[in-house]
């Protein structure tokens, strides 16, 4: 029985990055032996165990053989005779197929260390084509590593194109797609996720609502980048910059402009009413991938309200209150700061605007705080009762918004 450090922990050390969890592969052992040593089983589809002291993951070396469609269509062999090299060869990318023994020596049969040096994302072998989820994983790794100048190997891109054309992406389980998408949105460069999927023809199959934005023109005076798809890439990257690692903000930023794909051709490059038009495709996307409720709710608010926030200075005090009320800002006050971030990402995610000021974010937070400071206890209950209390509270909050605005202009 021998153990090796494998996968991301080795890769990230070679990249000079802070490694995440340590994963290990165990060669020459059995489930029975692992249990006898005190390891706790956690693997459902193949033998994976947690170390009794460190809690780190230890998986028996295994091979996989395709037995059906989709990512679950595999037969796993974790016999003690499976070698380390065989285990490494069934992995997705060469940069993830490197092991390190207890003495620190690398075992690298596929040249993963060389690909790390050359910043190449290359598939580990022909078995890559057997798992359609790996197309999304390639795009997600590009979202993480594009800033380090990684690129997809031409032969890997060609293989991904074949997989996209072959129809197996239709077999992907929605929860797994959401898992890869949310991880991409937590990465530094989500645009690379979109571009990689689009380059191999997978974006139209996985996220058709996003793919439809490419080639749709916008008014150049507001969007010098013109193409809505390019704008979306810039917004997603700006959201990652403003809220690093936050896929809640990232998802709302990703989906805020879906309505622009539905603008009639004779109206372009204007997009009148795209905020409301975007709600139907947004809800469809959320339903398809079973997007968490918090992500769905913020995305709907951002899609519907982002233009109102952009023109906040033009809104009457009562209209600002109505905006806050539609956002459920008095029961969920954190939502306004989230909305402000999404709107800032939208405004700065344009050609030449990356360093622009966005005072609307600050003003929205300030007006919200002023309205939030007024509560029902401040209402004279002897004068108001029943529905009149709510109306009086609304009036008091509108007044507070107006006073906050007046203080700012003095």
Phi, psi of 28, deg, nearest 5: 85, 20
Burial of 347: CB neighbours in 10 Å, binned 0-12, 13-18, 19+: buried
Distance CA 236, CA 195 (A): 12
Residue 151 maps to which CATH number?
Answer: 1.10.110
Cβ atoms of 6 and 88 within 8 Å: the answer is yes
C-alpha 273: how far from its chain's center? 26
Residue 71 maps to which CATH number?
Answer: 3.30.460.10
Q: pLDDT at position 409, please?
A: 59
Q: pLDDT at position 46, please?
A: 77
> Is the same domain home to 136 and 103?
no
Q: pLDDT at position 282, please?
A: 98
Q: pLDDT at position 410, please?
A: 52
Q: Note whether residue 117 is domain-resident.
A: no
CA distances (Å), origin 131, targets 122, 141, 350, 361: 15, 16, 36, 43
> Is the same domain home to 101 and 21?
yes
Distance CA 374, CA 265 (A): 47
Q: pLDDT at position 78, please?
A: 84
Q: pLDDT at position 391, please?
A: 86
Q: pLDDT at position 406, please?
A: 84
> Collapsing DSSP states into helix, strand and coil, what is residue 105?
coil
Rg (CA), the chain: 26
Per-residue pLDDT reduced to its tens digit, 275-305: 999 999 999 999 999 999 999 999 999 999 9
DSSP-derived secondary structure for 178-237:
HHHHHHHHTSS-HHHHHHHHHHTT-HHHH-HHHHTTTT-B--TTT-TT-BHHHHHHHHHH
Query: Would you give the end-to-end CA distance of the chain in angstroms?
Result: 76
Q: Note whether residue 150 is domain-resident.
A: yes
> Is the same domain home to 54 and 86?
yes
Distance CA 204, CA 8 (A): 29
Find the DSSP H helices in 243-381. Answer: 247-254, 274-277, 279-289, 293-310, 317-326, 334-348, 359-372
Per-residue pLDDT reduced to its tens digit, 125-147: 988 998 999 999 999 999 999 99
**Range with the poorest average pLDDT among 70-79, 187-196, 321-330, 397-406:** 70-79
Distance CA 81, CA 298 (A): 51
Mean pLDDT of the chain: 93
Q: pLDDT at position 77, please?
A: 84
Which of the listed residues 59, 84, 112 is the one where a domain comes to its end?
A: 112
> Is the same domain home to 95 and 168?
no
Number of domains in the chain: 2
Q: Note whether residue 15 is domain-resident.
A: yes
CA distances (Å), origin 208, targets 205, 212, 255: 6, 6, 12
Expressed as residue numbers, the domain containing 178 is: 132-199
Q: pLDDT at position 386, please?
A: 61
**Range with the poorest average pLDDT among 33-47, 286-300, 331-345:** 33-47
Q: pLDDT at position 68, please?
A: 55
Q: pLDDT at position 351, please?
A: 96
Per-residue pLDDT reduced to its tens digit, 247-286: 999 999 999 999 999 999 999 999 999 999 999 999 999 9
Whether 390 has a pLDDT exceeding 80, the answer reads: no
Whether 341 has a pLDDT exceeding 70, the answer reads: yes
pLDDT confidence of 67, banded at 50, 70, 90? low
Per-residue pLDDT reduced to its tens digit, 103-127: 999 999 999 999 999 999 999 998 8
- At a CB cut-off of 8 Å and minimum separation 6, what does 253 contact? 235, 236, 238, 239, 302, 342, 345, 346, 349
pLDDT confidence of 348, banded at 50, 70, 90? very high
CB burial string 266-304: b at 16+ within 10 A, e below: eeebebeebbebbbebbbebbeebebeeebbbbbbbbbb
Distance CA 113, CA 110 (A): 9
> Is the same domain home to 180 and 102?
no
Q: Note whether residue 149 is domain-resident.
A: yes
Q: Note whether residue 166 is domain-resident.
A: yes
> Is the same domain home to 16 and 48?
yes
> Collapsing DSSP states into helix, strand and coil, what is residue 107?
strand
Per-residue pLDDT reduced to its tens digit, 69-106: 545 555 788 889 999 999 999 899 999 999 999 999 99
């Amino acid at each position: 029985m021998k153990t090796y450090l494998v996968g991301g922990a080795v890769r990230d050390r070679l990249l000079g990055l802070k490694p995440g969890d340590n994963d290990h592969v165990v060669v020459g052992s059995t489930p029975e032996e692992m249990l006898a040593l005190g390891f706790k089983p956690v693997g459902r589809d193949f033998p994976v165990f947690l170390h009794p002291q460190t809690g780190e993951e230890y998986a028996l070396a295994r091979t996989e053989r395709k037995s059906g469609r989709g990512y679950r269509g595999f037969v796993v062999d974790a016999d003690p005779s499976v070698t380390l090299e065989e285990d490494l060869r069934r992995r997705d990318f060469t940069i993830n197929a490197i092991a390190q023994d207890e003495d620190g020596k690398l075992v690298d049969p596929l040249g993963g260390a060389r690909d790390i040096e050359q910043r190449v994302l290359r598939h580990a072998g022909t078995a890559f084509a057997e798992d359609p989820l790996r197309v999304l994983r390639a795009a997600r790794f590009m979202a993480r590593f594009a800033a380090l100048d990684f690129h997809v190997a031409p032969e890997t891109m060609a293989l991904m194109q074949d997989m996209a054309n072959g129809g197996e992406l239709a077999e992907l389980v929605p929860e797994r797609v959401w898992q890869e998408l949310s991880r991409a949105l937590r990465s530094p460069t989500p645009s690379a996720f979109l571009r990689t999927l689009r380059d191999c023809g997978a974006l139209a199959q996985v996220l058709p609502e996003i793919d439809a934005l490419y080639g749709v023109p916008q008014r150049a005076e507001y969007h010098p980048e013109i193409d809505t798809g390019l704008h979306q890439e810039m917004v997603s990257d700006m959201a990652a910059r403003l809220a690093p690692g936050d896929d809640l903000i990232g998802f709302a930023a990703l989906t805020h402009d879906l309505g622009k794909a539905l603008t009639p051709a004779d109206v372009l490059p204007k997009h009148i009413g795209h905020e409301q038009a975007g709600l139907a495709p947004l809800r469809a996307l959320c339903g398809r991938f079973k997007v968490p409720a918090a992500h769905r709710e913020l995305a709907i608010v951002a899609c519907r309200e982002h233009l109102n926030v952009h023109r906040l200075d033009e809104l009457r005090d009562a209209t600002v209150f109505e905006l806050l009320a539609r956002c459920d800002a008095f029961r969920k006050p954190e939502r306004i700061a989230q909305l402000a971030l999404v709107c800032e990402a939208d405004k700065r995610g344009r050609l030449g605007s990356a360093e622009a000021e966005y005072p609307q974010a600050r003003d929205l937070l300030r007006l919200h705080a002023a309205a939030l400071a007024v509560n029902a206890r401040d209402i004279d209950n002897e004068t108001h009762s029943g529905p009149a209390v709510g109306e009086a509270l609304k009036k008091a909050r509108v007044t507070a918004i107006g006073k906050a605005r007046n203080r700012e202009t003095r």
